[in-house]
Amino acid sequence: MTLAFDIEARDPHSRARAGRITTAHGVIETPVFMPVGTRGSIKSLTPDEVRNHGAQIILGNTYHLYLQPGHELIARMGGLHHFMGWDGPILTDSGGFQVFSLVYGGIADEIKGRRPTQQVQPGMVKVTDDAVIFKSYIDGSMHVFTPERSIEIQKGIGADIILCFDELPPFHAGYDYTARSLERTHAWERRCLMFHRATQEGGLPFVPPNPYQALFGIVHGGVFPDLRRASAEYLRELPFDGLCIGGSLGENKQQMREVVDMTVPHMPDHLPRHLLGIGDVDDLIECVARGIDMFDCVSPTRLGRHGTALVRDAERRWKLNVANAALRDDPTPLDAWCDCYTCRRYSRAYIHHLFRAQELLGIRLVSLHNVAFLLKLMRTIRQSIIEGRFAHLRAEWLGI
Amino acid sequence: MTLAFDIEARDPHSRARAGRITTAHGVIETPVFMPVGTRGSIKSLTPDEVRNHGAQIILGNTYHLYLQPGHELIARMGGLHHFMGWDGPILTDSGGFQVFSLVYGGIADEIKGRRPTQQVQPGMVKVTDDAVIFKSYIDGSMHVFTPERSIEIQKGIGADIILCFDELPPFHAGYDYTARSLERTHAWERRCLMFHRATQEGGLPFVPPNPYQALFGIVHGGVFPDLRRASAEYLRELPFDGLCIGGSLGENKQQMREVVDMTVPHMPDHLPRHLLGIGDVDDLIECVARGIDMFDCVSPTRLGRHGTALVRDAERRWKLNVANAALRDDPTPLDAWCDCYTCRRYSRAYIHHLFRAQELLGIRLVSLHNVAFLLKLMRTIRQSIIEGRFAHLRAEWLGI
C-alpha cells in the first residue's frame, strides 16, 4: 500500500469533499494546494518556512530536475526529500508539460487559452508514438523522453506521488488531433504503469531512494466532452492511485470549469483528483466545488517575484500591486485576514519600499505571503466543508 | 546618557579588549561585527534571521535611505527600527562615503587601494567648505548635504549611533590635500556636534523617533602618521560618544593595519573604536589585536550574492566558490565549524545546485551563512580575550 485516500466529509450542495491522503512521508488533508519547487526549491523560500505556514505537499518538476542536477545525482544524495531538506510528501510531474511547451511555444499560454507569444518551433523536438526528442533549455543538448524514461527519472527523484508521461496537444489542435493524441497518451500511461510495476523490485541503474511511490494517471481529451468521458472511463479501469485532469482546459476560466464539470462525474469517487496547474483564488474555490481534491500552481511565487500580493478582496481580483504609490506610507499589513510571517511583522509601506529599492527580501516576503495565503484559504475551505458551511464561504469569498 | 562603554577584559599581548556598549535599544558585546542593511534590509535576510544568528547591531546607509524612501517617511513610520522590524541597536553612517564615491569614481576601490575602474567624474558633485552637492543615483536629481543636513537626516532615521559628516579624499590625493581635507572634516565634525546638541530638545521638521542617539566622530588623516595623530588628538577633546577610523586606509592590508597602528594609540581608551568598512576574516582578527571594537562591512552578503561562502580555511583565504564543480556531490555542510541554519540543514551539493540553477534561495542561504560565520568568529574572538587565549586563537586562525 503506497497511498490511501479517505473521504471525511462531503458538501451537500456541490461535489466538494474533504479527505485525507496518506503517503510514505505523511498525511495530506484535502482539498490541498501544493506550492511548486521547480528546481528543488520553492523560489526564494526554505522548506521550513513553507512547512511552518501549512504546506503539506510540494511539487517538483521532473524536466528541470532531470536536466539539473540530474536524477541520478539526486538519487545518490538520498532523493529529493533529503537533497532539498523537505521531509513531507512530494509530487513530481512527468516532464511532459515542459517538453511539449518547447514544441508548441509556451504551452502554459495555450492551456490557459492565451495566444502564443512566440512562433511555434516544430523543429525543436520530434514526437513519435514511442518517444519525445527535445533540446535542453540550458545548453541545447538533445534528450529523449519515453514513458519508461520519465518513470525511471521520477524513481530517481523519489517523490511520493509520480505522474504518467502524457502528450500535451496544443489547444487549437481541434477534435481529430486531440482524439489521436488521447490514444497515444493512453498507450503511454499503460506503459508507465507497467514499467512502474516492473521496477518495484529493482532493475534500475540506481537505488531508488523512495520505494513507496504512488502513480497517478492523467485524464485528457481537451475541451471535448466525449473525449474527456472516454479518457476518464478508460483510466478508471487501470490500477492508478489517483487521477489528474491535464491537457487543454480551454480558452478561459469559464471553459476550464466546464472541462472539470464534464470530467469529474466520470472519475472514480474513491481516488484523489488533481487539477494540474491551476491556482487562482476563484478557480480554487470553484474547482473544489466541482470535486477537485489537489491543486498546484507556480502563481504564488511568480506573483511574488513580480510584486503582486494576494489579498482577500474580490473587487481587486484578489491581487495587490505592492509597487503602487498608494502603499508608500500604509502602515497596515498586506492583508488583514492573513496571519503569515510577512503580515505579522511588516507593513505595506516597508514592502513597497523593498520593491522600489529592488531588495531581494521583498520578493521573499511577498512570495511567502502568497503561498501562506493560498494554504490558509485551502484550510479554510476544508474546514467549511467539514462544518457544512462551504456554500456560504464560496458566496462570501467570490462576492456572489 | 545615550551610550555607555565598559571594558571587561584586555589581552595582555596586544591591544585587544572585550567590552559592552549600552544603547537605548540594548547591549552590544564587543568586539562586534555589524551586518550592513544599506536600504533597510540585510540583503535577502530578515531581521529575525540575523538576530537569531547573533547579530547585535546593524548598520543602515544614510545616503540610500535619504534618497529612498526618505528620512521623513521613515520618521513618520516610527523610525528605521520599527519600519524594518529590527528592535536592536542600529548605527547609521553620515552619507559622506557615498556622496564622495560619486566624485571619485568608486571610493570603495580607492580606500581599499584598488585602482579606479571608471573615470573620475568631477562634474557630478561640487564640494565647498559648507556643503556637498551631488546627484541621486536613482534619478539624477540634485541634492545638497551639509553637516547639519546629515545629522538631521540621521535623526529622522533614528539610529542609536550616528556618525559625523566627513570628506573622503581620494587615496592618491597626497599629503597636502589630505591635510587640508582634514581641516575641513574637523570643522564639519564640530558643526555636527553642535547641531546634534542644539536639536536634542526639538527644532526639527519632524518628531525624531529616537531621542537617545549617540554621536561618533571620525578620525581622518589618510596614511600619514602625523595627520592621524593630530586628528585623534583633536577629536578626543570633543564630547563624542565614540570614534571611528575613516578615510583612506592605504593600498593594501598591510598599510591598512599600519594606519590602525598609528591611530589607535592616540584615541581615548574609554571610548569604543569603530574601523569603518572592514570585514575580511584576517582583518577582523588583526584589527581586534590592534584595539578595534566595532566593524561593519557589506562583504558577507555581497560574497553571498556572488556564490562565495566563508570557510575556516586559511589556505583558501577563508573563501569557497560554491559553483565549483568539486562541490557537485559533496554531502557535507559549507563549513564544519559553522552552526548556522544553512550549515545545519543543507549540503554543499544542494547549495551548488541552487547557484547553478540561479535559484534565489542559494543567495539567501550563503548570505545567511556568511553573516553567521563572521558573527560566530567575533563571539569566539571575544571569548578568547576574556579567557586569555586570544594570542592562541589569532595564531590558529591565521595559520601563523
Rg (CA), chain A: 20
Residue-wise pLDDT tens digits, B178-201:
999 999 999 999 999 999 999 998
Best mutation target among A347, A350, A369 (most B Cβ atoms within 10 Å) is A350
pTM of the model: 0.95
Supply the pLDDT for residue B122: 44
In a domain, A340, yes or no: no
Which CATH number does the domain housing residue B223 bear? 3.20.20.105
Supply the pLDDT for residue A154: 98
Of the candidate ranges A106-115, A216-225, A250-259, B154-163, the one whose mean pLDDT is the lowest = A106-115
Q: Determine how β-strand B26-30 pairs with β-strand B17-23.
A: antiparallel
**Cβ neighbours, 10 Å, residue B226:** 11
| Residue B305: closest C-alpha in chain A | A360
Supply the pLDDT for residue B105: 53
d(C-alpha A153, C-alpha B200), whole Å: 68
Share above pLDDT 70 across residues of chain A, in percent, rounded to a whole number: 94
CB contact under 8 A, A329 and B85: no
In a domain, A297, yes or no: no
Confidence of residue A396 (pLDDT cuts 50, 70, 90): very high
A102 has pLDDT over 90: no
B117 has pLDDT over 50: no
Rounded mean pLDDT of B100-125?
Answer: 51
Supply the pLDDT for residue B33: 98
Task: Compute CA A291 distance to the chain's CA centroid, rounded to the nearest angstrom.
Answer: 16
In a domain, A33, yes or no: no
Supply the pLDDT for residue B137: 84
d(C-alpha A95, C-alpha A61), whole Å: 7
Residues of B in Cβ contact (< 8 Å) with A350: 40, 77, 83-85
In a domain, A261, yes or no: yes
In a domain, B226, yes or no: yes
ipTM here:
0.94
Comparing B183 with B127, the larger pLDDT belongs to B183
Residue-wise pLDDT tens digits, B146-167:
999 999 999 999 999 999 999 9
Three-class secondary structure of residue B385 per DSSP: helix
d(C-alpha B234, C-alpha B244), whole Å: 13
Say how many domains are in chain B.
1
Q: Where in the sequence is the domain holding B247, given as residue range(s)?
A: 61-275
Residues of A in Cβ contact (< 8 Å) with B46: 345, 361, 364-365
Supply the pLDDT for residue B124: 55
In a domain, A45, yes or no: no
Interface of A with B (CB under 8 A): 39-41, 43-46, 48, 64, 68-69, 73, 76-77, 83-85, 328-329, 331, 345-347, 349-350, 352-354, 356-357, 359-365
Beta bridge partners, A7, equal: A19
Residue-wise pLDDT tens digits, B335-389:
999 999 999 999 999 999 999 999 999 999 999 999 999 999 999 999 999 999 9
Of the candidates B44, B84, B356, the beta carbon closest to that of A364 is on B44
Rounded mean pLDDT of A144-153?
Answer: 97
CB B165 within 8 A of CB B150: yes
Of the candidate ranges A103-107, B55-59, B203-207, the one whose mean pLDDT is the lowest = A103-107
CB B239 within 8 A of CB B207: no
CB A33 within 8 A of CB A378: yes
Interface of B with A (CB under 8 A): 39-46, 48, 64, 68-69, 73, 76-77, 83-85, 328-329, 331, 345-347, 349-350, 352-354, 356-357, 359-365
A219 has pLDDT over 70: yes
Query: Cα angle vertex A146, ends A143, A149, to 5°?
Result: 80
Confidence of residue B169 (pLDDT cuts 50, 70, 90): confident
